[in-house]
Amino acid sequence: MSYFVHESSYIDEGVTIGRGTKIWHFSHIQKGAVIGDYCSLGQNVNVSNNVRVGNNVKIQNNVSIYEGVTLEDYVFCGPSVVFTNDLNPRSKYPKGQGAYKKTEVKHGASIGANATIVCGINLGRWSLIAAGAVVVTNVPDYALYAGIPAKQIGWVCECGSTLNSSYLCHCGRMYVLTAGFLYRRERGEG
């Protein structure tokens, strides 16, 4: 095998796991899930049916990724992050997978410990969700969201640092705000 699965974890039939990926204690990967290369799934992680996880994704302990959620490359999920896939569930009236709302976590986004991501939204590229936040709306690229319900409180660099009022980072990356959206500016651009 080109990946590692701890002996206490369960991997259903029909799962694809990429090379270099590590799946730790008491995890369950369900049928049809696809996990990319060089991912790390902590203890007690559940990846539901047909979930897509990109490359180099880090999922900390006690996270369940339900059907309808997609994690692109380099996503980070802190401990006990909560994803949902049904806006109004009823035990007596199950809707089935056709009614699940889609949630996309874009390239490089990070979600802090105990944050809740309500289904049917997108978290933008390189966005940062603070620990304990409850996210109920789409999050733009590079946005920093915190609170209940989560609101934008700033902008962050790809390195994770908060940007100053000129949209410059101490690491040297520069950004420009245009029509409410933040874009990375390459050195030498006006």
Give this prediction's pTM: 0.96
**50-99 tens-digit pLDDT:** 999 999 999 999 999 999 999 999 999 999 999 999 999 999 999 888 88
> Can you name the residues that pair with 134 across neighbouring β-strands?
116
C-alpha triplet 139, 145, 147: angle, nearest 5°: 125
Tens digit of pLDDT at every position of the chain (190 positions): 799 999 999 999 999 999 999 999 999 999 999 999 999 999 999 999 999 999 999 999 999 999 999 999 999 999 999 999 999 999 999 988 888 999 999 999 999 999 999 999 999 999 999 999 999 999 999 999 999 999 999 999 999 999 999 999 999 999 999 999 999 998 766 5
Return the CATH superfamily for domain 4-185. Hexapeptide repeat proteins (2.160.10.10)
Helix (H), strand (E) at residue 155: strand 151-155
Do residues 162 and 130 touch, judged by C-beta distance below 8 A? no
Report the pLDDT value the prediction gives residue 181, as an integer from 0 to 100.
Answer: 96
Question: Which residue, among 31, 49, 45, 34, has the nearest Cα to 3 in the 3D structure?
Answer: 34
